């Protein structure tokens, strides 16, 4: 704007105000930024004022003040003209934009046309205006729509399941495209998609309305829906329907009576899956059924577990009842299965017991013990078990009693061995080594006896046969041993035959000198201090030669060496009592059979011995013996000793009754022998001198 020179100011200067920083062109009075003119002072270079405040510049003379201006008067009309043209072109543009945005001529502009209008505004540097903003907004909305449509179409092709549009969103999009003042050819695509989706929706609605539809149809609908790329509300329902159908199908299969029974875990898995399935009457029903089934199955399993574990065993009938109850549960129940197996075993066991109890003869102890062990292991209450245990117990106590009766303390023999004939009686070395092993604690019982295995021992027949065979072998063996040992030189009489084999005591040394003893059975010699001596000989000191003070009866008290003395020698009454107890046992033991054989053997021998003693010859001999005794008792002791204490004292008797001796020895050869040294009480066995060694071998006291 042009202003006349202020009063008195004559100087003027052109100034491009727009190039100055704002603070250098401010009026110091009113702070207005000056564009076209200002008053300044040469002397006061720090400030200027607008033309309204010329009096506020400074106090200097106006000749020192000067005008600063932007344009001359000539320049202004050109400027004005230019301004006019510019204003006119903006108007034209704005008009075009308005027509386009309002669709005033009824024709939607294309996207490119709208974009061209925007470019024009940019090129012509039109100031930012509300109209331009509307144009820009419209363009970005159109761009967004097109992008969405492209995404929709490509998504449909690629079947991407990434952010799907919902049906509602699709409708909104279509509406938006229709309302925008821009012609978009993509709108046709969108309309197509919408039509497809709507057709699909109608189909899905129909399928859902006519439930139950076939699972195949539902599944194909679901798949088609996924290909649409648009989320249809019915799709969710379809999905649920398909899941329900699938789950129901699985449950049905699992519970089918013909199917392989699934485990509890499978059932639990189905139930967990079922909890995630949307409810429907049939799903709810299946869930309830499954839950009930599981509860019942678990309860029975618990019961079965209790039956298997409990200390209190249950009878087979109870187990059968439990198993029957669970038969119709279509689930595999491991505990019930275990219970079934236990029951089957128990039934087999009962059958075994029946068979063994009702057999031809009593069951043998081994079998009973086996049955008891099996029965104890079974988790089933078996009434027969108690009875069997009792039988086994009785048999054991019988055997214990028999052992106490027959076995010596720390015996190296078993009861059965002692009761049976010693088949290796003739083998001195076997007996010796065994005795040594026992003394050293090395001996272990043989399992084989009389050549019989544990199995043979179950059969009473084979025990009896073996016993008879053993008797024969024993007899032969002992005769052989006696022959051999008799040939050995006596340590009492210095021998001239140095080459013949000599006796060896159990200590391993050759017995010699004072205190040696000869076994009445095997005829071998031993140190008196190395062997235990029958109690009648323990006092006075046992010696057949060095003790002249022995009583008259002492010489026929017999000594048995530890190798021959295998057992105690109980009286026949004791044994008969044992046999009576054995008969009451409903159990068979090999020891029982052996004892019976032994008893028969003893009684048979006793019979024959009595007959022999009753014969003429023996009675005569006994008479003679009685006379001798009377003479002895009448004589003083020393003499008596000198005559009768040595082993040779027997000789006259033997000679005098040769027939009888051979007769008695015949008894041995028949395989029978009874009596023992203990039994040689005074005045009782005095007539049996010659047969003593026979009876020694047998372990029954007559």
Distance CA 153, CA 328 (A): 57
Distance CA 57, CA 44 (A): 9
What is the secondary structure of 132-188 as a DSSP string?
Answer: HHHHHHHHHHHHHHHHHHHHHHHHHHHT--SSPEEHHHHHHHHHHHHHSSEE-TTHH
> Which one, 121 or 560, has the nearer CB to Zn ion?
560
Q: What is the pairing mode between strands 11-14 and 525-527?
A: unpaired
> Which one, 44 or 577, has the nearer CB to Zn ion?
44
Given candidates 29, 134, 396, 571, which one binds Zn ion under the rule CB under 5 A? 29
> Which one, 60 or 348, has the nearer CB to Zn ion?
60
Q: Return the range that interacts with Zn ion (CB under 5 A); candidates 30-38, 384-392, 423-431, 572-580.
A: 30-38
58 binds Zn ion per the rule CB under 5 A: yes
Q: What sign has the CA pseudo-torsion 500, 504, 508, 510? A: negative
Which ranges of 310-364 would DSSP assign to H, the alpha helix?
Answer: 316-325, 334-357
Per-residue burial over 546-576, b if 16 or more Cβ lie within 10 Å, else e, is: ebeebebbbbbbbbbbbbbbbbbbbeeebbe
Structure tokens at 280: 């429907």
CB of 508 to Zn ion, least distance (A): 7
527 binds Zn ion per the rule CB under 5 A: yes
41 binds Zn ion per the rule CB under 5 A: yes
Q: How many residues bind Zn ion (CB under 5 A)?
A: 20
Distance spanning both ends of the chain, measured CA to CA: 170
432 binds Zn ion per the rule CB under 5 A: no
> Which one, 100 or 521, has the nearer CB to Zn ion?
521
Structure tokens at 590: 């090999």
194 binds Zn ion per the rule CB under 5 A: no
Q: Return the range that interacts with Zn ion (CB under 5 A); candidates 43-51, 234-242, 277-285, 357-365.
A: 43-51
CB of 378 to Zn ion, least distance (A): 52
Distance CA 228, CA 170 (A): 12
CB of 511 to Zn ion, least distance (A): 6
Given candidates 507, 581, 625, 628, which one binds Zn ion under the rule CB under 5 A? 507
> Which one, 58 or 153, has the nearer CB to Zn ion?
58
CB of 560 to Zn ion, least distance (A): 6
**Coil, strand or helix: which one is 211?**
coil
Given candidates 222, 255, 304, 564, which one binds Zn ion under the rule CB under 5 A? 564
Given candidates 20, 28, 53, 356, which one binds Zn ion under the rule CB under 5 A? 53
Given candidates 48, 193, 519, 621, which one binds Zn ion under the rule CB under 5 A? 519
CB of 180 to Zn ion, least distance (A): 52
Q: Return the range that interacts with Zn ion (CB under 5 A); candidates 14-22, 208-216, 553-561, 635-643.
A: 553-561
User: Per-residue string for binding with Zn ion, 200-229, x by CB under 5 A?
Assistant: ------------------------------
CB 402 within 8 A of CB 598: no
Given candidates 423, 505, 537, 700, which one binds Zn ion under the rule CB under 5 A? 505
Given candidates 1, 30, 211, 393, which one binds Zn ion under the rule CB under 5 A? 30
Helix 187-209 × helix 233-255 angle, to 10°: 40
Structure tokens at 328: 């119709």
CB of 6 to Zn ion, least distance (A): 12
CB 380 within 8 A of CB 342: yes
Structure tokens at 534: 């029958």
What is the secondary structure of 609-668 as a DSSP string?
Answer: HHHHHHSHHHHHHHHHHHHHHHHHHHS-HHHHHHHHSSGGGHHHHHHHTHHHHHHHHHHH
Given candidates 10, 14, 43, 81, which one binds Zn ion under the rule CB under 5 A? 43
> Which one, 6 or 274, has the nearer CB to Zn ion?
6
Per-residue burial over 71-100, b if 16 or more Cβ lie within 10 Å, else e, is: eeeeeeeeeeeeeeeeeeebeebbeebeeb
- Which residues of the shown chain bind Zn ion in the complex (CB under 5 A)? 27, 29-30, 41, 43-44, 50, 52-53, 58, 60, 505, 507, 519, 521-522, 527, 530, 561, 564
């Amino acid at each position: 704007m042009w202003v006349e020179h202020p009063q008195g100011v004559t100087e003027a200067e052109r100034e491009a105000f727009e190039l100055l920083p704002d603070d250098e062109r401010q009026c110091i009075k009113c702070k207005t930024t000056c564009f076209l003119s200002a008053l300044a002072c040469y002397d006061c270079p720090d400030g200027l004022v607008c033309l309204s405040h010329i009096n506020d510049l400074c106090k200097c003379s106006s000749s020192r003040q000067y005008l600063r201006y932007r344009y001359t008067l000539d320049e202004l009309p050109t400027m004005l003209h230019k301004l006019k043209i510019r204003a006119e072109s903006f108007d034209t543009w704005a008009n075009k934009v308005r027509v386009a945005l309002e669709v005033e001529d009824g024709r939607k502009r294309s996207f490119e046309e709208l974009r061209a209008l925007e470019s024009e505004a940019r090129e012509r540097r039109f100031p930012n205006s509300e109209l331009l903003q509307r144009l820009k907004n419209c363009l970005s909305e159109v761009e967004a729509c097109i992008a969405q449509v492209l995404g929709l179409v490509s998504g449909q092709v690629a079947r991407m399941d990434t952010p799907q549009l919902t049906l509602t969103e699709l409708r909104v999009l279509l509406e938006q495209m229709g309302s925008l003042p821009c012609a978009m050819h993509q709108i046709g695509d969108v309309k197509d998609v919408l039509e497809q989706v709507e057709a699909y929706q109608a189909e899905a609605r129909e399928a859902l309305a006519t439930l139950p539809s076939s699972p195949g149809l539902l599944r194909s609908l679901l798949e088609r829906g996924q290909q649409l790329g648009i989320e249809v509300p019915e799709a969710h329902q379809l999905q649920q329907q398909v899941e329900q159908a699938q789950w129901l199908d699985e449950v049905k299969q699992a519970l089918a009576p013909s199917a392989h029974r699934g485990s509890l875990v499978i059932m639990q898995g189905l139930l967990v899956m079922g909890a995630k399935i949307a409810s429907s009457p049939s799903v709810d029903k299946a869930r309830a059924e499954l839950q009930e089934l599981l509860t019942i199955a678990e309860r029975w399993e618990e019961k079965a577990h209790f039956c298997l574990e409990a200390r209190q065993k249950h009878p087979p009938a109870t187990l059968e009842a439990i198993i029957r109850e669970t038969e119709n549960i279509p689930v595999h129940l491991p505990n019930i299965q275990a219970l079934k197996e236990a029951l089957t075993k128990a039934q087999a066991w009962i059958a075994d017991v029946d068979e063994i109890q009702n057999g031809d003869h009593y069951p043998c102890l081994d079998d009973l013990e086996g049955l008891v062990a099996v029965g104890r292991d079974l988790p089933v209450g078996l009434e027969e078990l108690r009875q069997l245990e009792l039988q086994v117990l009785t048999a054991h106590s019988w055997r214990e009693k028999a052992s106490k009766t027959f076995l010596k303390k720390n015996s190296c023999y078993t009861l059965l061995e002692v009761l049976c004939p010693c088949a290796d009686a003739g083998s001195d070395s076997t007996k010796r080594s065994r005795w040594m092993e026992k003394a050293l604690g090395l001996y272990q019982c043989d399992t084989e006896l009389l050549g019989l295995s544990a199995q043979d021992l179950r059969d009473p027949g084979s025990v009896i046969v073996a016993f008879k065979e053993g008797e024969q072998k024993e007899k032969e063996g002992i005769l052989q041993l006696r022959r051999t040992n008799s040939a050995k030189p006596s340590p009492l009489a210095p021998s001239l035959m140095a080459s013949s084999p000599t006796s060896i005591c159990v200590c391993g040394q050759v017995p010699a000198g004072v205190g040696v003893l000869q076994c009445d059975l095997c005829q071998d010699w031993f140190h008196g201090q190395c062997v235990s001596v029958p109690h009648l000989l323990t006092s006075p000191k046992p010696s057949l030669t060095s003790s002249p003070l022995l009583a008259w009866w002492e010489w026929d008290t017999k000594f048995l060496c530890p190798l021959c003395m295998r057992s105690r020698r109980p009286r026949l009454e004791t044994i008969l009592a044992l046999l009576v107890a054995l008969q009451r046992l409903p159990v068979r033991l090999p020891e029982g059979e052996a004892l019976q054989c032994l008893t028969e053997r003893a009684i048979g021998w006793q019979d024959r011995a009595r007959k022999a003693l009753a014969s003429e010859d023996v009675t005569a001999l006994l008479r003679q013996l009685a006379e001798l005794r009377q003479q002895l008792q009448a004589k003083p002791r020393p003499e008596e000793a000198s005559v009768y204490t040595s082993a040779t004292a027997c000789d006259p008797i033997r000679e005098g009754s040769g027939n009888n001796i051979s007769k008695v020895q015949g008894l041995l050869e028949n395989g029978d022998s009874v009596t023992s040294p203990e039994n040689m009480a005074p005045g009782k066995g005095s007539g049996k001198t010659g047969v003593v060694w026979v009876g020694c071998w047998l372990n029954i006291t007559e």
